[in-house]
Amino acid sequence: MRKVVAMTGDQAAAEAMRQIEPDVVAAYPITPQTEIVMGFAQFVADGRVQTEMIPVESEHSAMSACVGAAASGARTMTATSANGLALMWEIVYIAASTRLPIVMPVVNRALSGPINIHCDHSDTMGARDSGWLQIYCENNQEVYENVIMAIRIAEHKDIRLPVMVCQDGFITSHAVEGIKLYDDKQVKEFIGAYQLEHSLLDIDKPVTYGPLDLQDFYFEHKRQQAEAIKNSLKAIPEIFAEFKKYFGSAYDFIDTYKLDDAELAIVALSSTAGTTKVVIDELRAQGKNVGLLRPRFFRPFPKEKIVRALSGLKAVAILDRSEAFSGQGGALFAEIRSALLDEPKRPLTVNYIYGLGGRDIDLQQIKSVYADLEKIVKAKKVKDLINYLGVR
């Protein structure tokens, strides 16, 4: 039985966690993620889950507790934002390096300073090379479904890596939408039981987690992580197919909107895609062939699908909600431009940094990006590689 319930993005994440019922949740509150762990803590207090809830003194402690719990064989989750993610930085790398399938909803928020509690992607983009898989959600329904799916992805035998499920702070985390919820029993059946192959508590087959790893094996272990990321590109589609079979929702590494016959396109993550779709409909009514590509996954980076979707276009604007301070554009732009480099027929690409610290991106700004793309096609060159959208 399925029902539609009005929920914020944070509540949707907490509800998914309730249905998953992990063995351990260790967490520390931080705006705008607080309502996730607050809501889940209420489920624990009400006896609706049997999870061991560990309230810790910091995010560094939260991820440390998660590492210990996951290594012991417990299905483990946490949640965080911005400075909280930064504080657990050291242990974020350890979690991935030890191949522990921890799932962590992250509510994207600007990373200080100056201190700011609103949305941009500087927190998770800073952690993009930590070894965690990263999923970016457009709306609250995706938050709910991706948290459930992330359990299967993290625990897949050919992956065994932690997963961040990202949503835009306040924009989706505190906005209310109708969420189609699935039956508890069906969710439990989909995720199945968790069995860690090498448990720290298995005294018959003793193992070590977190040993000193010098020149003799460190390189090989990093290569194994890289292979796991590659494996995930093959394994995740199996989970997409099974999720559709169970729940009817189709997923892929990317999502497109009116891109098949487009000449100009925007690439954007998360909630900005919804605003872009409104502009596309308006411009299509005027006879302009414009479209959208939204990567759902940034790690693993779905190069083949992105290249196939964009290679036939004339010009593409790639929007980054974080500043890389590289002089060569934002993180999403750099990855996509690099992926397109060897294509014999590739579009002209231009980067826009936007929305830092929660600044709104409106319909007119997106229209201006498509207008700029028309000028680029006409001139057959990109004048300014990096542009700032909506900054004074």
- 302-336 pLDDT per residue, tens: 999 999 999 999 999 999 999 999 999 999 999 99
C-alpha distances in Å from residue 263, one per residue of 27, 139, 190, 294, 295: 46, 26, 40, 16, 19
Q: Are 307 and 345 in contact (CB under 8 A)?
A: no
SS3 (DSSP) at 124: helix
Q: Are 148 and 16 in contact (CB under 8 A)?
A: yes
351-363 per-position pLDDT tens digit: 999 999 999 999 9
Q: How far apart are CA 40 and CA 316, in angstroms?
A: 41
pTM of the model: 0.98
46-80 per-position pLDDT tens digit: 999 999 999 999 999 999 999 999 999 999 999 99
Task: Find where tokens 């272990």 sit.
Answer: 221
> Rounded mean pLDDT of 168-187?
98
Task: Find where tokens 């431009």 sit.
Answer: 337
Q: Is the peptide bond before 302 cis (omega within 30 degrees of 0)?
A: no
* pLDDT of amino acid 167: 98
Mean model confidence pLDDT for the chain: 97
Q: How confident is the model at residue 195 (pLDDT cuts 50, 70, 90)?
A: confident
DSSP one-letter code for 210: S
Q: Lowest-confidence range among 59-73, 143-157, 193-207, 374-388?
A: 193-207
Q: How far apart are CA 126 and CA 111, in angstroms?
A: 9
> Rounded mean pLDDT of 144-155?
98
Q: Are 333 and 296 in contact (CB under 8 A)?
A: no
Q: How far apart are CA 118 and CA 322, in angstroms?
A: 12
* pLDDT of amino acid 228: 97
Task: Please state the domain extents for the chain.
Answer: 3-247, 254-389
> Has residue 377 got a pLDDT over 80?
yes
> Has residue 2 got a pLDDT over 90?
no
Side by side, which strands form the sheet with 133-136?
52-55, 24-27, 76-77, 103-108, 163-168, 133-136, 297-299
233-263 per-position pLDDT tens digit: 999 999 999 999 999 999 999 999 999 999 9
- Tell me, yes or no, if the two domains 3-247 and 254-389 fold the same way: yes
> Has residue 1 got a pLDDT over 60?
no
* pLDDT of amino acid 152: 98
Task: Classify domain 3-247 by CATH number.
Answer: 3.40.50.970
* pLDDT of amino acid 172: 98
Side by side, which strands form the sheet with 315-320?
254-257, 290-295, 264-267, 315-320, 348-354, 386-389
Q: How far apart are CA 165 and CA 167, in angstroms?
A: 7
b/e 220-237 (16+ beta carbons within 10 angstroms → b): eeeeeeeebbebbbebbe
Architecture of domain 254-389: 3-Layer(aba) Sandwich (3.40)
